[in-house]
Structures are given as C-alpha cells and as structure tokens.
C-alpha cells in the first residue's frame, strides 16, 4: 500500500521498500515490496549492493537526483557499475529513509523513473511524510507481533517470554495497556507517565475513558467495543488529557484475547501538528491561487466594460452640454450619466481588486492625510460612533496614491460603522514596522501601517476568509457592492504592501493596510489644489483600435478646440508621421494589437521631441505603463479629458506646427 501510494504521488515508474537487515554476506538491503515492475525480474538480479549512492540513506539522509547516472558516486562499484544487467532504467531517483522513533534506519523507500527531472521538492516532502507513517506502522506491527508471539508460546517459554515482555513493557516508548471488557485499566506501561504525566498507580483501576478528551469519547467507545469482538479495526487516533492539562494525540493498535484488550499507543502529537501546518499552508495556497484567478478574470472584464462605458459616458456628457438645465431630456440624461458614473466607480473598484488600476504613487504623509479627512470621517460615521485617531510621532511618508488611499480609508471606516449598528468606537492608528525576513506576507523592508479597528459584531473564520472576495458582502441586498475590501486588498498589493484582517465574533474587527516607506519627501499639494495648467490647443493624432471609443473621444477633443486626425492602430499612426505630418499631441489607447500606446509614444517622440502625449487605458498593465507619461483612465467625460490634457506631463519640449495637415484617417 505504501509503495503503491508513493508511485501514485510522485509519478514514478517503479517504487520499492527495502528492509535494512544486515545478513551474513555483509549486504544490508532486502527487497520487501515492489510496485511498477515484476518481482521475478528483481529476484534474479540478486540482492542489491550497498553502493556509495545508497550510503546517505543509512545516515538518515534523503537522496533526490534529477539524473542519478550523472552522480559522481554512480558506477564506482564493480562489477556492474552500480546496477546489474537487466535492472530497469532509472534516471530520476528519490530515496527516503524509513526511520524508527529511536533514530534507527528501518529501511528505505526508493522510487525511480527513466526520464530525468521527474521528482520535485514537493514529492520529497510527501514521501518523507509517507515514510514517517510507515515507520509508525512497522514499529507498531513489530511490537504487536512480539506480544502475539509471546501469547502463542507462553506455555513453552513462560519464564523467558515473561522476562522479555517485562523488558519491552518497561522500556517501550509507546503506551502499552491491558483493558478489561468494562473499560477498566488492568495495567499500563511506564510510558504512560512519560507521555501523559500520570503515575501508574493513579491510572490502574480506572476506566480508560476518564482520560480521553470528551469530544472523542463516543468514537473511542465504539472502537473499543469493536476490538472486544475480535474484529479487525484500523488504527484508532484519539486525544488524551495529560496531567498538566495539555492534549496529546495517540495512535492505537489493539488485539483482543477473551475479555481483555491489549493496546499499543504511539504519541503522534507532533506529527499531527505538522500535518495541521501543512494543511493550513495548502489551504492558504489554494486561496491565493483562487484570488489570483479571480483577479485576472476581473481585470479582463473591467477592461472590456471600460471600453463600453467610454463612448456611453462621453456621448451622454456631450449631448447633455447642448441642453438647457430645465429641459425634460436633460433630466433624463442626468439620470443616465449618474448611472454611468456609478458603473465607472464599480469598474474602478474591480480594477483595484485586480491590481490593474492606473496609480500615481507619491510620498504621502499618512498622519496629515488622516487629519485632513477627520471631519469627513466624523460626518460619515455619524453621532453614534466615536472616532479616535492614534499616531506615532515623526513618521516617514508612505509610497501611495493619495486619492486611492483616501478612498480606501473611507471604505474601511464605512465598513466599521456598519459593523456597529448600536454605535461604538472606531480607532484609526498609524504606526511603523520593520520586516527583517521574507517569510511573511511582504518582502523585507520598512512599512507604515494604517489600521481601522471597530468594536462591532466581528466576523467568524469563514466570513473573514471570504471578506476580500469581490461582491462578497454580509450587509444584505442593496447595502453595498461587496467591493470595498476587495479594492483595499488590491490597492495594497499593487503598491507593494499587504492588507490584513483580524476579527472574531463579538470582539470587533481590525483592518490593517501596510504600505512601503518612501525615501522621498511627502507631497503636500493636493491635485485639486494645484494651479490649473493651460491646455495647448492644436492638432491631435487620436489612436484607438475601438471605433466607438475613438469616435466619442474625437468629438470631445473637437469640442475642446482641437483639430483631430484618427488612426486605428500604432502602425497606422506611425505611417502618418513617416509621410511627413507632424501632430502637436498624441492621444493613444494603451492596450492595442501590435503596439502599445506607450511604445508608440516613445517611437514618435524620438522623431518629434516636442510631441505632447496622453495615454488612455482601460486598465493598468504595470509592466508596460510608464510613470513619466500622462495617463487618463477609461471611461472619461470631457472635463476628465480636459483636466488630463492640462497635466504638465503631457507636453515635453516646444510644440511645433506644420501648415496644411493631411486629411483625417477616419
């Protein structure tokens, strides 16, 4: 069963277990079981030699090789260079020792495959765990066989066997017990005191169920009843209460003789702890993979929706500008524009979760930002909620996008308020921490933490695990989009930080946003407080592969006073400039077939150093978007476009105009 499982887990072509038994010839390995090959084929090869390749196995070392034939130890043993003729072809090689609790090598699990590079670190860990369980089974089986053999030959060798049994009884590191049919412990080995702490005289005469954890009593009683009938039962694992109040996991093998049950129990507490750690790690990995897949799907959907919303929102805005405020059609358009704006907000949150939103990270003073927002936060939280802001002194700035960070803080505050329907306290804290190793959620470095803690109802483990999933909400229908925490999580990841939740039912929730410390000085001027920059009006080369987006953007630019010429690809735009036409401004979509907008801008600016550039994008491709170019996220209205064109990053150098521009490529 063990070798079959090892072959299945690793994908090996052949697997075997060899007993480590020294015989009269001085050889040690004896084939016990085989998977993936005919036993007769191995039998005619004779016993395997203890080659230098196998030496580490007897030193309790794991051997894993992508190509054992390239190992310098391979082939140094005459007369068959490591393997006799007729041996299956082995290239990938994995050998794991099976070690007793006392450290003795009981044997080895060996797996091979003719193809190189088949076994990974994961396979090594799995087989190591399998070997540990095999060692438990072998030692328990050997001990049980010893006890049964003693019973079979008791009349012939009663004195010798009694002495041996007593010696095994005293020296066994496993628990040995004899239990009457009513559950009374007739005798227990000294290991009971070693493992559980109770003196032997305090245990004998009591019911063994008195020491079993209450949650495990029912299952243990049923297993004991089955053992009394002589039925073959599997290994039973249950929990026992030690004298010091701790809980120990024991793995039991039993045998019945009349109205007595003989049991051998091994302490597997540490092994269970390792299994629990492995399970939690695997669950965390599955959750991470799930969130990554959701992020990729979400980013793609949000990108498509941005392309759909751009002509909708832009066209509605242009039409609305031509109508008087009192016009009935104007009221209908206002409602449509409001709905489109709500859709834009939802898409922006989706992009934040997917880590695809265009960011403008700068050095941000978190303390100043939080104090600037204190009035807004107090108003948002309402009179039933007490707001407390706690900060350290002389904190460095964080690297963040202030606008997005303010939205994240507001989202966390709203969540905290909704978690306290009867009112309570929201505590906002700002602190600094230094991560020295890379084993946690973030790489080593200095970080600033922005935390929002409430005294609300809290979350159970399942809710806390799913809290950052997009569209997951506990607020009920119509009370939120379920994207607030998703947006905060995505923002933290995109900025190189992390987002963590601590919560328990009835104990409130603490949300922590950790951001990298910035080496630059904090930017104190808000974007909305900056002095407006005049827009240079001239000839625009508009590039977008989506016709409806290009038409809407062209109309907005024309209304702003630009002369617009269109191209449906980077290649078409390049040809226009190569034919001698020189635009004043390039407005280009970023993600296009063949050439990105950023690549197009670099190419055209090499020819026209004074060319203005504005990159429009449905989502941020962090690998290809350039921070030194002005960006405008989709969807956008005419005012958004005008403000983006006023960005100082748009124009580089002196704008030059040529007479007689060519006809539009539309």
pLDDT at 221 over 50: yes
Instruction: Please tell me whether residues 123 and 77 are part of one structural domain.
Output: yes
- CATH, residue 86: 3.30.450.40
pLDDT at 169 over 90: no
Instruction: Please tell me whether residues 302 and 257 are part of one structural domain.
Output: no
Using an 8 Å Cβ cutoff, are 20 and 13 in contact? Answer: no
Backbone angles phi, psi at 371, to 5 degrees: -65, -40
Mean pLDDT, residues 636-655:
75
Using an 8 Å Cβ cutoff, are 557 and 540 in contact? Answer: yes
pLDDT of residue 236: 87
- The model's confidence at residue 561, banded by pLDDT at 50, 70 and 90, is confident
Mean pLDDT, residues 401-426:
83
pLDDT of residue 358: 54
pLDDT of residue 525: 47
Q: Does residue 155 belong to any structural domain of this protein?
A: no
Please give the angle made by the CA atoms of 268, 97 and 19, to the nearest 5 degrees. Answer: 105
Pairing, β 29-35 against β 175-180:
unpaired
Q: Does residue 280 belong to any structural domain of this protein?
A: no
Mean pLDDT, residues 496-517:
85
Q: Does residue 6 belong to any structural domain of this protein?
A: yes
Instruction: Please provide the DSSP assignment of 221-249 as one string.
Output: HHHHHHHHTT-----EEEEEE-TTS-EEE
Please give the angle made by the CA atoms of 656, 659 and 665, to the nearest 5 degrees. Answer: 95
Q: Does residue 152 belong to any structural domain of this protein?
A: no
Question: Of 4, 255, 241, whose CA–CA distance to 111 is shortest?
Answer: 4
- CATH, residue 184: 3.30.450.20
Mean pLDDT, residues 168-192:
87
pLDDT of residue 10: 93
Q: Compute the chain's Rg from CA coordinates.
A: 36
Q: Tell me, what DSSP letter sits at residue 207? A: B
Instruction: Please tell me whether residues 14 and 129 are part of one structural domain.
Output: yes
Dist CA 561 CA 555 (whole Å) = 10
Mean pLDDT, residues 335-355:
61
Using an 8 Å Cβ cutoff, are 130 and 5 in contact? Answer: yes
Q: Does residue 259 belong to any structural domain of this protein?
A: yes
Using an 8 Å Cβ cutoff, are 373 and 356 in contact? Answer: no
Instruction: Please tell me whether residues 116 and 244 are part of one structural domain.
Output: no
Instruction: Please tell me whether residues 263 and 334 are part of one structural domain.
Output: no
pLDDT at 123 over 90: yes
pLDDT at 519 over 70: yes
pLDDT of residue 657: 37
Instruction: Please tell me whether residues 337 and 367 are part of one structural domain.
Output: no
Using an 8 Å Cβ cutoff, are 169 and 146 in contact? Answer: no
Q: Does residue 272 belong to any structural domain of this protein?
A: no
> Of the candidates 516, 547, 562, which is a domain's last residue?
516
Using an 8 Å Cβ cutoff, are 634 and 618 in contact? Answer: yes
The whole domain housing 299 covers 285-349
pLDDT at 116 over 80: yes
Q: Does residue 109 belong to any structural domain of this protein?
A: yes
pTM for this one? 0.38
Dist CA 357 CA 633 (whole Å) = 8
- The model's confidence at residue 400, banded by pLDDT at 50, 70 and 90, is confident
- The model's confidence at residue 534, banded by pLDDT at 50, 70 and 90, is very low
Tokens standing for residue 151: 């019973």
Burial of 502 per CB tally in 10 Å (0-12, 13-18, 19+):
middle
**DSSP bridge pairs for 399:** 363
Instruction: Please tell me whether residues 298 and 330 are part of one structural domain.
Output: yes
Mean pLDDT, residues 506-528:
73
Instruction: Please tell me whether residues 458 and 324 are part of one structural domain.
Output: no
pLDDT at 563 over 60: yes
pLDDT at 67 over 70: yes
SS3 track for 460-519: CHHHHHHCCCCCCCCCCCCCCCCCHHHHHHHHHHHCCCEEEEEECCCCCEEEEEEEEECC
With a pLDDT cut of 70, the percent of the chain lying above it is 75
pLDDT of residue 82: 60
Q: What is the mean pLDDT of the chain?
A: 78
Helix, coil or strand: residue 655 = coil
Q: Which residue has the higher pLDDT, 64 or 530?
A: 64
Instruction: Please tell me whether residues 512 and 374 are part of one structural domain.
Output: yes
Using an 8 Å Cβ cutoff, are 138 and 98 in contact? Answer: yes
With a pLDDT cut of 90, the percent of the chain lying above it is 14
SS3 track for 344-377: HHHHHHHHHHCCCCCCCCEEECHHHHHHHCHHHH
Q: H helices of 63-114, where?
A: none
- The model's confidence at residue 25, banded by pLDDT at 50, 70 and 90, is low
**Of the given ranges (89-93, 215-219, 318-322), which has the lowest mean pLDDT?**
318-322
Q: Which residue has the higher pLDDT, 653 or 62?
A: 62
Burial per residue of 229-242, b for 16 or more beta-carbon CB atoms within 10 angstroms, e otherwise: eeeebeebbbbbbe
Task: Report the residue count for the chain.
Answer: 666
Dist CA 55 CA 580 (whole Å) = 76
Per the omega criterion (within 30 degrees of 0), is the bond before 433 cis? no
Dist CA 240 CA 436 (whole Å) = 39
Dist CA 178 CA 147 (whole Å) = 12
Using an 8 Å Cβ cutoff, are 590 and 616 in contact? Answer: yes
- The model's confidence at residue 5, banded by pLDDT at 50, 70 and 90, is very high
Q: Does residue 37 belong to any structural domain of this protein?
A: yes
Instruction: Please tell me whether residues 16 and 140 are part of one structural domain.
Output: yes
Instruction: Please tell me whether residues 345 and 377 are part of one structural domain.
Output: no
Tokens standing for residue 592: 């296009």
pLDDT of residue 240: 92
- Total domain count for the chain? 5
Mean pLDDT, residues 208-230:
89
> Of the candidates 267, 300, 327, which is a domain's last residue?
267
Instruction: Please tell me whether residues 106 and 226 are part of one structural domain.
Output: no
- The model's confidence at residue 306, banded by pLDDT at 50, 70 and 90, is low
pLDDT at 115 over 60: yes
Run of H or E including 575: helix 570-578
pLDDT at 593 over 80: yes
Mean pLDDT, residues 139-143:
88
Q: Which residue has the higher pLDDT, 446 or 169?
A: 446
pLDDT at 63 over 70: yes
């Amino acid at each position: 069963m063990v070798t079959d499982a090892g072959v299945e887990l690793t994908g090996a072509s052949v697997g075997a277990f060899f007993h480590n038994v020294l015989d009269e010839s001085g050889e040690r390995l004896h084939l016990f079981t085989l998977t993936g090959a005919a036993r007769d084929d191995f039998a005619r090869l004779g016993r395997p030699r203890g080659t230098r390749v196998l030496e580490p196995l007897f030193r309790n070392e794991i051997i894993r090789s992508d190509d054992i034939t390239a190992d310098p130890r391979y082939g140094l043993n005459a007369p068959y260079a490591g393997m006799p003729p007729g041996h299956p072809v082995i290239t990938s090689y994995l050998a794991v020792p099976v070690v007793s609790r006392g450290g003795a090598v009981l044997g080895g699990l060996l797996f091979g495959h003719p193809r190189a590079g088949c076994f990974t670190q994961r396979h090594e860990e799995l087989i190591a765990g399998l070997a540990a369980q095999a060692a438990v089974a072998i030692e328990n089986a050997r001990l049980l066989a010893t006890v049964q053999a003693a019973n079979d030959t008791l009349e012939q060798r009663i004195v010798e066997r009694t002495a041996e049994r007593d010696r095994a009884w005293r020296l066994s590191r496993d628990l040995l017990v004899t239990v009457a049919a009513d559950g009374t412990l007739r005798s227990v080995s000294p290991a009971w005191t070693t493992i559980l702490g109770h003196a032997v005289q305090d245990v004998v005469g009591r019911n063994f169920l008195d020491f079993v954890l209450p949650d495990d009593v029912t299952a243990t009683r049923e297993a004991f009843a089955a053992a009394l009938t002589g039925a073959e039962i599997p290994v039973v694992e249950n929990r026992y209460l030690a004298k010091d109040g701790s809980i120990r996991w024991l793995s039991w093998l039993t045998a019945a003789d009349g109205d007595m049950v003989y049991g051998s129990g091994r302490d597997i507490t540490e092994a269970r702890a390792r299994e629990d750690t492995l399970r939690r790690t695997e669950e965390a990995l599955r959750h991470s993979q799930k969130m990554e897949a959701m992020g990729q799907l979400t980013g793609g959907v949000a990108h498509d929706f941005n392309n759909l919303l751009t002509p909708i929102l832009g066209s509605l805005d242009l039409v609305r500008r031509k109508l008087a405020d009192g016009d009935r059609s104007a009221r209908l358009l206002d409602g449509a524009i409001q709905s489109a704006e709500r859709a834009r907000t939802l898409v922006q949150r989706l992009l934040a979760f997917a880590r695809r939103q265009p960011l403008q990270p700068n050095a941000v003073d978190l303390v100043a930002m939080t104090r600037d927002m204190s009035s807004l936060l107090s108003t948002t939280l309402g009179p039933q909620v007490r707001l407390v802001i706690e900060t350290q002194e002389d904190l460095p700035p964080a690297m963040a996008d202030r606008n997005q960070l303010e939205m994240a803080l507001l989202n966390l505050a709203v969540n905290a308020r909704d978690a306290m329907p009867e009112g309570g306290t929201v505590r906002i804290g700002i602190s600094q921490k230094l991560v020295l190793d890379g084993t946690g959620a973030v790489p080593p470095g200095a970080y600033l933490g922005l935390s929002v803690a409430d005294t609300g109802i809290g979350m159970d483990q399942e809710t806390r695990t799913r809290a950052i999933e997009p569209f997951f909400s506990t607020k009920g229908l119509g009370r939120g989009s379920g994207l607030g925490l998703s947006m905060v999580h995505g923002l933290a990841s995109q900025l190189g930080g992390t987002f963590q939740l601590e919560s328990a039912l009835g104990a409130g929730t603490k949300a922590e946003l950790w951001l990298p410390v910035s080496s630059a000085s904090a930017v104190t001027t808000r974007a909305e407080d900056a002095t407006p920059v005049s827009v240079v009006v001239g000839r625009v080369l508009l590039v977008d592969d989506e016709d409806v987006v290009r038409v809407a953007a062209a109309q907005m630019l024309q209304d702003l006073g630009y002369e617009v010429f269109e191209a449906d690809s980077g290649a078409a735009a390049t040809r226009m400039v190569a034919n001698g036409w020189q635009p004043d401004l390039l407005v280009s979509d970023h993600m296009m077939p063949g050439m990105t907008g950023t690549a197009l801008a670099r190419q055209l600016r090499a020819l026209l150093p004074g060319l203005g550039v504005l990159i429009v994008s449905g989502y941020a491709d962090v690998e290809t978007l350039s921070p030194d170019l002005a960006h405008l996220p989709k969807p956008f209205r005419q005012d958004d476009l005008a403000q983006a064109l006023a960005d100082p990053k748009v124009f580089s150098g002196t704008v030059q105009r040529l007479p007689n521009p060519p006809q539009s490529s539309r």
